[in-house]
Amino acid sequence: MQDVTDWAFLNLLQRYGGADVYFTEFFRVTQDSRLDPEILRSVTENPTGRPVVAQVIGSDIAALVRTARELQAYPVAGIDLNLGCPAPVVYRKCAGGGLLRDPERVDAIVGALRQAVTAVPFTVKTRVGFAEGGEFSRILEVLEKHRPDLVSVHGRTVAQRYRPGVRHDLIAQAVAELSCPVLANGDVHSADEAHRIWSATGARGVMVGRGAVRNPWLFTQIRQKGRGEPVIQPTGREVLAYVEALFEAVSDVAAREVDRVHRVKKHVNFVAEGAEATGRFLHDMRRSSTRKEFFRICREHLDHDAPMALEPWIREELES
């Protein structure tokens, strides 16, 4: 996740059990782009001990091919093409989710990358269409033609952004029509939801974004449920300790205090959505600008021993 799951966050996440495989933030690829050294650090100094796949986003075929070749000189576990980003600044340039409006271009890009990625698996992350799920069949046809090694499907359209209504039926369609393994993505906020989406779609696994920032215990909880064990439930105080660890990990000690607080809010936004039903935590936390004030608000909501579900109370409409 861009600006969220950087080296420092992956390093922290691993302390809570971590995922089986990670995908980097996207490398933005244009005619004269260079590999972003901060993102590359997640590969060259991989802190997880698990495989890390490098993700690229762009629409310039020659530049994507050049970047994919460059990345293969590093210890990447794969190269992933982003066909899902809904940010207007990205999709207006016909990259990320914007490409889903143009299956012919997807065909050309995926074909070129398939040829260029020879040393490691080539994977694709896609949404289920640009404006409506009806476009997905054509996208799947194009993907299948080039035989990617893995496809992750976020079951929303680009126009839907993060609004409710993840299309499990369309993820199941991808599972049925693609020869490669499929990862199901979208609103996996709990071990129960992970197992629900698995059985509803037949996917090989789940990809988790916001849920892991909100609840870094989530991967452990999913594994525990899979083994039929009781699922650990962190207390408020454990979540508070996570927020304290986040502050130290993701914000730069040398930065101004206001910038450190601003930086950690990107992550704690997700925690606050899961911690308190009225939205007051989220509201107050967002307005804090000093470390003291930020932690006073966090303690007000988290300094207790009650177990926390950490599933979002505040739904995605707020984020769109």
Ligand X SMILES: Cc1cc2nc3c(=O)[nH]c(=O)nc-3n(C[C@H](O)[C@H](O)[C@H](O)COP(=O)(O)O)c2cc1C
Q: Which residues of the shown chain bind ligand X in the complex (CB under 6 A)?
A: 1-2, 4, 25-26, 55, 82, 84, 125, 154, 185-188, 208-211
Nearest approach, Cβ of 136 to ligand X (angstroms)? 15
Residue among 33 and 292 whose Cβ is closer to ligand X: 33
230 conformational bin, left if phi > 0, alpha if psi -120 to 50, beta if neither: beta
Residue 13 · residue 212 · CB < 8 Å: yes
Q: What DSSP designation does 235 have?
A: B
Rounded CA separation 197/203 (Å): 8
Helix (H, G, I), strand (E, B) or coil at 80: strand
Query: Which one, of 268, 234, 239, 235, lies nearest residue 251 by Cα?
Result: 268
Nearest approach, Cβ of 26 to ligand X (angstroms)? 4
Nearest approach, Cβ of 299 to ligand X (angstroms)? 26
The residue length of the chain stands at 320
Residue among 210 and 260 whose Cβ is closer to ligand X: 210
Residue among 78 and 84 whose Cβ is closer to ligand X: 84
Task: Using CB positions, name the residue nearest to ligand X.
Answer: 209
Rounded CA separation 206/185 (Å): 6
Residue 208 · residue 166 · CB < 8 Å: no
As a 3-state breakdown, the chain gives helix, strand, coil percent values, each rounded to 5, of 50, 10, 40
Residue among 66 and 266 whose Cβ is closer to ligand X: 266
Nearest approach, Cβ of 276 to ligand X (angstroms)? 19
Residue among 13 and 188 whose Cβ is closer to ligand X: 188
Nearest approach, Cβ of 300 to ligand X (angstroms)? 25
Going by C-beta distance under 8 Å and a sequence separation of 6 or more, which residues neighbour residue 278? none
Q: How many Cα atoms within 13 Å fall on the side-chain side of residue 156?
A: 18
Residue among 153 and 240 whose Cβ is closer to ligand X: 153
Decide if 85 is catalytic.
Answer: yes
Residue 67 · residue 113 · CB < 8 Å: no
Nearest approach, Cβ of 302 to ligand X (angstroms)? 22
Active-site annotation holder among 85, 94, 180, 298: 85
Measure Cα distances from 224 to 168, 190, 228, 255 in Å: 23, 12, 6, 39
Catalytic residue numbers?
Answer: 85
